[in-house]
Structure 1
């Protein structure tokens, strides 16, 4: 079956998309958030002649089945840091206490998959925060938590469709619970920062003292939720950007590598480097 080509870019950049359509000699209706669907495109020709220019103009190009509908899916799961939220929460907290650069270096290596043990890398980063006042968590929540563009529209559409939303994070419950409440996620799974006498101890565990949630933990939780509710993994949509998201990106019927590291992109069905989170909705007929 021939696939449709969905072109998307940043919200408000309709002119860029329109110019590219003119360049390739095609017409199409640009719809929200900033996307156009083209039918009967020659994939080989597009990839050879136009894919490079498309990327240079900051336009995402994804090939999708023409009949794909949101109603085919029964569950949505997303990573939090640098996917749903426009920040890395641990890096941000570390910056408050002068440890930002040290923590960010380890974070980047972990997200690129150069540190293969996520639990080890998380433990090393949190250890750098030992002794910090727990008020840095409140400071983060009060001033710095912002979703990526398109989050509200995506959440609204998923709720309207009756699709449960899971926030699946290697971050911390003190943040994920706030995000859950603000945006109406059905459930969250994340790690726990140890705080004693108002200070971070530098220790971290999984929920209720269990092993740290890593890539294996994420897909285990999502799979268990799906099984409990009679949902096939082919009916699952996932989004993520880091190496610890790879297992759930590979398992899902539809997965989006969101502004992802090069190692992550091949493991997802689609990739967004410029489209907003609500760009997911443009993939459906």
Structure 2
């Protein structure tokens, strides 16, 4: 099957796409957020001659079904930290109290897949926060919750298409519930950060004391929601950046490794290293 070539880069860098199109002798209409679709391209020739130059110019390259539409899909699920939001919430809270280096070191190793047991990693990181005043959570929510570029446009398009949105996070309900309400997610699944007497106890569990939500927990929740609503996994879109997102990236009909760790990219249908969250919409011919 002939495929279209979708080229994307960061919002506001249309001039980069124009420069690249000129260099390969092609013309195309640059659309929001910052993308262009080319039909009739020779894939083998492009990959051989132009892929590396596109990468050097910070342009994402995606080969897509020219007939694929957003309405082909019926469910959307995304990770929160460093995917929908532009931060790792636990790392940020730890930085407030001088424990940032200790916690972020474990986070990075976990997201890269070098620490493979997510539950053990999260338990170790939260334990470092024992005794910290719970006001760090309020501070995070009040001043630091900010979505990544393109979030609002993506959410708007999904709502318009009537596609339920799941926020699937290894983070904490005290944050995910706020994000759910602010951006209109349909449902959320995340872990519970234990707080007693106004302090973090250093303990974490899954919802209602269940096992911690890890990669298997994420896809189990998404699969259960899909089954309950008569949705096939090939009608699912997922986005994530870390190793604990791999199971739901692999299972979905369409998946995006969004600004992801190198070990994660091969497990998704597409990898966006530069495009905004709304770059997902450029993959659809509509």
- TM-based fold match above 0.5: yes
Residue-by-residue CA offset, 1:203-240 (whole Å, 9 max, x unaligned) = 00000000000000000000000000000000000000
| Superposition pairs of residues 1-285 of structure 1, within 5 angstroms | 1-285=1-285
CA–CA separation in structure 2 for the residues paired with 1:94 and 1:47: 43
Q: Whole-Å Cα distance in 1 between the matches of residues 98 and 11 of structure 2?
A: 35
Aligned-partner SS, 2:126: helix
Q: In structure 1, what is the Cα distance between the partners aligned to 2:99 and 2:45?
A: 49
Paired residue secondary structure (2:80): coil
Distance in structure 1 (CA, Å) of the matches to 2:23 and 2:163 = 38
SS of residue matched to 1:169: strand
SS at match of 1:282: helix
Shift of the alpha carbon at 1:143? 0.4
Q: Please state whether the residue corresponding to 2:193 is helix, strand or coil.
A: strand
Distance (whole Å) between structure 2 residues aligned to residue 198 and residue 46 of structure 1: 58
Aligned partners of 2:209 and 2:185: how far apart in 1? 23
Residues 2-41 of structure 1 show CA distances to partners (whole Å, capped at 9, x for unaligned) of: 1111000011100010000000111000000000001111
Q: CA deviation at 1:280?
A: 0.4
Alpha-carbon shift at residue 282 of structure 1 (Å): 0.4
Distance of 2:241 and 2:199 partners within structure 1:
30
RMSD of Structure 2 on Structure 1 (CA): 0.4
SS of residue in 2 equivalent to 1:249: helix
The whole-number CA distance in structure 2 between the counterparts of 1:33 and 1:114 is: 34
The runs of 5 or more residues in structure 1 that have no matched partner are none
Q: Runs (4+) of structure 1 moved beyond 4 Å?
A: none
Question: What is the CA–CA distance in structure 2 between the aligned matches of 1:239 and 1:2, rounded to whole Å?
Answer: 25
- In structure 2, stretches of 5+ residues that fail to align are none
Distance 1:281 1:260 in 2: 18
Pairwise CA distance, 1:75: 0.2
Q: Cα deviation per residue 1:44-77 (whole Å; 9 max; x = unaligned)?
A: 1111110101010000000100000001000000
CA separation in 2, counterparts of 1:22 and 1:270?
25
Q: Distance in 2 between matches of 1:131 and 1:42?
A: 60
- Per the normalisation by structure 2, the TM-score is 0.99
Aligned to 2:110, what secondary structure does the other structure show? helix
Report the secondary structure of 2:26's partner residue.
coil
Separation in structure 2 between the aligned mates of residue 230 and residue 84 of structure 1, nearest angstrom = 26
